[in-house]
Structures are given as C-alpha cells and as structure tokens.
Amino acid sequence: MTGGMTGGIPLPGSQAADPQAAGNQPAGNQAAEPQPSGDQPADREPWERNASWWQENFTSGADPEYEEQILPLFASHLTGARLVLDVGTGEGQIARLAASLGAGVVGADPSWAQLEVAVRRGGGAAYARADAHRLPFGDRSFDVALVCLVLEHVEDLGAALDEIARVLQPGGRLLLALNHPLLQAPGSGWIDDHILGEQYWRIGPYLREDRSLEEVAKGVLLPFVHRPLSAYVNGLAVRGLVVTRMEEPAPPPGFLALAEEYSDAASIPRLLFLRAEKLLPPAVGEQEPGDRPSTGPPGTGPLPRGLFSGGAA
C-alpha cells in the first residue's frame, strides 16, 4: 500500500511489457530497475522517505492484518478477474496475489522506493509510476480495480474516483479497502473510564473532514484525510459504481495477540471493505438525452508502453 498518489507517468527507461500477459511472465524475466528522475514533489516525499518502514512492517508476512485478513479478503473477490489494476500498489503484495490467481496485473504507484522493491520481488505483475488522479491507461482497460488503504491518503478524492471509473470496463468491479471511516475516525479509541467504571470505544469527530499528518510510528509522519463514509459511497454512485457488498471484519486473531489491551476492542472493526460494480451502459436506443456517447467497446482503450515487469515468482 502507498497512499498520497502524486505521480502520473510510466516508468521511464523500462522494457516494454504486454499488460494483457502481465500475470503470466516467464520465470526469470528481467527488467531494468526504475531510476529516480529527480522530480520529487513535496507531497510525495513522506512516501519515498518511509517506504522501507512500510516494507519491513507490513509485507512479506510481517503484518497479521494483511496475512490473516486483507490478502484473503481480496483473494475471495478476485474470482474470474482477467486484467487487474492495483492503484497504490506499494511494493506490490496485492498485485502479486492477483497475478498468482491467474490475472494479468498492472500495479500503479508514485513512489520510486516502492516500485523498485516491487520489481525486484517479481511475482508476475507489471508496474507503472502513476498517481490515482492521473492514470496513464485507456478508457475501459481493466475488469477489476484494487484500491487498498490508499484513498485515505489522497487529497482529491473526486479526481481519483473519476480515473478509477474511467479505466474500469462496464460490468467491472472495484475492490476498495479503507480504514473504517466511522470507528477509526481521528480521536477514536478504547477508553477505560475509572471514574464511571466503564469501558467503551470513543468515536472521534466523524462528519468533519479532516486533513493531518499522522504519526503512525515513532518518527514516521504520513498524510491522512478523514472523510465520512457517505463521501465514498456517494462518490462511487455518481460515477456509476454501485456498491454490491460491504464487509466490516473483526480484527484477526494475530492482530489481537500483539497486545493484551487489543482484546478489549475485538468487536470494533478496523477495516471497511466495499465491492462496487460499474453499471453497464444503456442499450442502443435507451440512452437518455444528454448522456455522453460511448467511446468504444469495452477493453479497446490503449495501455501504456514502458511498463516494468516484475517477472514470475
């Protein structure tokens, strides 16, 4: 996972890869590693600076929430996926998961430090340096889009959702995971009230949109945007993305075992998962006045050349 998507260009200097076959790269496939361009906007710096912290603590089996909950949850909704876009792919662990299930996969992320590791770790996905609000892919290019713990770090939610809806084929699905907007709102947490003799989960200011730099670990500051759930659901709906399933899983056992006090909040979900499907266009003759005409049949939009391939595991 990487948030704060702020790039927008394919990785320069790479070998061309065919995204249609990205999930089936031959073993040993090599690609040149990405080199920083020197263009590092200030809002990208936290993700570049803290990439190794993320990789060490949340990938390769290090984090029980990913291993026991997030990865299995996404896997259960990837059945039948053909061409998958992982927005905010980070070092590629969910992209590799999708590729292992037989899909062609492209992971997009603005962070060089994450993409360099994604390429080295292989696994069959291809990668492009790109941000959520300026995806370098044609209309209707993918039948599945994955967005895991990313949109909370994106400043312009509307622009990101515009792009995700644009690159999805009609009938395609969006798999979206968020820090639970209500129960993980800023200021929320477990309260042990010794005066009243009660224990309860406090909900922080929920309806107020909040932007902050959050210290997620000692010395690790990352941008975070809190929005109410309605901002996400309504944002999807106006773009023809209709929520068909919502899940609020309890924290997994491995997470609860990390600290004794976590067991007190075992009934408070940390994650919200939404599955949304893009509405099919109206049949010929059924288009409403003012509707934009179709730009072509599903899947005809061009995919960019110059993708980095992570090869096969």
**How high is the mean pLDDT in each 10-residue block of the chain (313 residues)?**
32 31 33 39 75 94 96 98 98 98 97 96 96 96 98 96 98 98 91 85 94 91 95 98 97 90 85 96 54 38 50 51
Q: Which spans in the chain are helix H?
A: 45-49, 51-58, 64-65, 71-76, 93-100, 112-121, 157-167, 229-237, 253-256
Of 3.30.70.260, 3.40.50.300, 3.40.50.150, 3.40.50.1370, which CATH number belongs to 19-309? 3.40.50.150
Task: Supply the pLDDT for residue 30.
Answer: 30
Task: Supply the pLDDT for residue 308.
Answer: 56
Task: Supply the pLDDT for residue 37.
Answer: 38
Task: Supply the pLDDT for residue 194.
Answer: 87
Task: Supply the pLDDT for residue 98.
Answer: 98
Task: Supply the pLDDT for residue 152.
Answer: 96
Task: Supply the pLDDT for residue 11.
Answer: 26
Task: Supply the pLDDT for residue 36.
Answer: 39
Task: Supply the pLDDT for residue 125.
Answer: 97
Task: Supply the pLDDT for residue 56.
Answer: 95
Provide the residue ranges of all domains of the chain, joining segments of one domain with +: 19-309
For residues 121 and 161, give the distance between their C-alpha atoms in angstroms, rounded to a whole number: 29
For residues 242 and 76, give the distance between their C-alpha atoms in angstroms, rounded to a whole number: 19
Task: Supply the pLDDT for residue 312.
Answer: 52
Phi, psi dihedral angles at 209 (to 5 degrees): -65, 135
Task: Supply the pLDDT for residue 309.
Answer: 58
